[in-house]
Structure 1
Amino acid sequence: MWIKICGLSTEEAVKEAVRDGATHVGFVFAKSKRQVTPEYAKYLAKFVPKTIKKVGLFVNEDPATITEIVEKVGLDMVQLHGQENSEFADNLPVPVIKAFGITDGKIPDEIADFKNHILLLDAPPAQFAGGSGASFDWDKVDLAALDGYRFFVAGGLTPDNVATAITIFQPNGVDVSSGVETDGKKDLVKIEKFISNSLKA
């Protein structure tokens, strides 16, 4: 089970995610209250062992800029939350996670273009793309539409509901950001509980 803790912006939170067994850690480079600079992400990346994937989140960013940040920070993967098409994803230097907002339980037809990439099923974007803290209608999703895809479930996950999400979707992974925060800051206890509950599910 992949377990991704996203929107990390402090040394303490990165170390907690690593210690508790996260498989992926995410740094946000798009406009967000969790946005970090490439320089600071490079510093935080020093606390992430090679066995854990470092993921950079971007929204409609220039591919040259993405490539530059991948190299500077040492990112292992890129997560795309904008209107990027599959050709854009195919030409990036590292594997791609492509986010899709799920409305009324409908899996977008465009996922077919990203069969060679990893999907991230998320709630529709609110103020910023990703990390809205809202969930989508899990019970309305046609799970058969996901056959043959590798995917994360995200959107509104918390330590209390992640096991249910895993039971319903049987995903390759789960992804959380605001669900392990208190007052807008990463909560080390919630990170530990989220990872623990994911591993037990």
Structure 2
Amino acid sequence: MKVKICGITDVNTALAAVDSGADAIGFVFAESKRRIEEEKAREIIAELPDDIMKVGVFVNEEQAEIERIAAKVGLTHVQLHGNESPEFCRGLSLPVIKAYSVEGKDRLAELKQFPCEFLLLDGPKGKYHGGNGLVFDWSILKNQDSFGKKIILAGGLNEGNVIKALGEAQPYMVDVSSGVETDGKKDVQKIQRFIDKVKGNRTGRKLR
């Protein structure tokens, strides 16, 4: 099972997450309390191993701006959290993770039309398009065909509920942000415990 730690804003936390076994690191370039400046993201990504996914999160951003930021900071994937169309996703040069705020299963079938390998299923929208820490009903994913995509499960996950989430949703990857924070800041001990819980043992690597 793969783990993405999203909303990273400093190099020490990024390296600690990777050492704990994270497979992907997320950087928010949209309106958010976790928004990161381009230069800071570039500095962090330069320190990360090549095999780690470096994901930039955008909301209704212009294609040219996404491409510019991705090239500047060194992203490997683009996560789209807004109202982007399948055509918009198709026009990007990097692999796309299309995010969708789940409020029921009525519209899930529409996600099949997106030309991307990954779908991120998040909780209902709050103040921001993502990262609100809201859980949705994972049981609606049972008996789904995964839309022919790799499902990334997000929304309100933490070390206390992630095992249940894995059992019900059976995703390809889990994505956590607020669930590994203390007082609004990433907590490396919570990151470690979350990843250990997901992966079942100590799988971290040593970078230095």
Q: Which aligned pairs between 1:137-176 and structure 2 lie closer than 5 A?
A: 137-146=137-146, 148-176=148-176
Q: Which moved more, 1:165-174 or 1:67-76?
A: 165-174
Equivalent residues of 1:105, 1:138 under 8 A apart: no
Of stretches 44-53 and 172-181 in structure 1, the one that deviates more from structure 2 is 44-53
Q: Distance in 2 between matches of 1:136 and 1:143?
A: 16
Tell me which amino acid in the other structure corresponds to 1:43. Answer: E
- Residue 64 of structure 2 is aligned to residue 64 of structure 1: yes
Q: Which residue of 1 aligns with 2:124?
A: 124
Structure 2 contact 3–195 (Cα < 8 Å) conserved: yes
Matched letter for residue 96 of structure 2? V
Structure 1 contact 162–198 (Cα < 8 Å) conserved: yes
Kept in 1, the 8 Å contact 2:141–2:168? The answer is: no
- Residue 106 to residue 162, structure 1, CA distance change in 2 (3 Å): farther
Gaps of 5+ in 2: 202-208
2:113 aligned partner, one-letter code = D
For 1:60, what is the secondary structure of its paired residue?
coil
Gaps of 5+ in 1: none
- Say which SS state the counterpart of residue 152 (structure 1) adopts: strand
C-alpha distance in 1 between matches for 2:131 and 2:117 = 21
Deviation at 1:200, TM superposition (A): 1.4
Structure 1 residue ranges, 4+ long, deviating more than 6 angstroms after superposition: none
Matching residue of 2:7 = 7
Counterparts of 1:9-158 in structure 2 under 5 Å? 9-114=9-114, 116-146=116-146, 148-158=148-158
Distance 1:107-1:193 versus aligned 2 partners, 3 A rule: farther
* Amino acid aligned to 1:31: E
Corresponding letter in the other structure for 2:100: F
CA contact (8 A) 2:41 2:73 kept: yes
8 Å CA contact 1:115–1:149 kept in 2: the answer is no
Deviates more, 1:43-52 or 1:141-150: 141-150
TM-score of the pair, normalised by structure 2 = 0.92
CA distance in 2, matches of 1:84, 1:114: 10
Amino acid at match of 1:57: V
For 1:144, what is the secondary structure of its paired residue? coil
State how far apart, in whole Å, the 1-side matches of 2:116 and 2:62 are: 21
8 Å CA contact 1:107, 1:142 repeated in 2? no
Q: Percent identity?
A: 45
Q: Is the 8 A contact 1:6 1:175 kept in 2?
A: yes
* TM-score normalised per structure 1: 0.95
CA gap 1:37/1:125 in 2 versus in 1, 3 angstroms: same
For 1:56 and 1:133, locate their aligned partners in 2 and report how far apart those are by CA, in whole Å: 19
SS where residue 179 of structure 1 aligns?
Answer: helix
Matched AA of 1:12: N
Structure 2: distance between partners of 1:54 and 1:12: 15
For this pair of structures, how many residues does the alignment match?
Answer: 201
Asked if 2 retains the 8 angstrom alpha-carbon contact of 1:107 and 1:141, the reply is: no
Pick which of 146-155 and 64-73 moved more: 146-155
Per the TM alignment, residue 38 of structure 1 is displaced from its structure 2 partner at its CA by: 1.0
Task: Note the aligned Cα RMSD (angstroms).
Answer: 1.5
Query: Deviation of residue 165 (structure 1)?
Result: 1.1
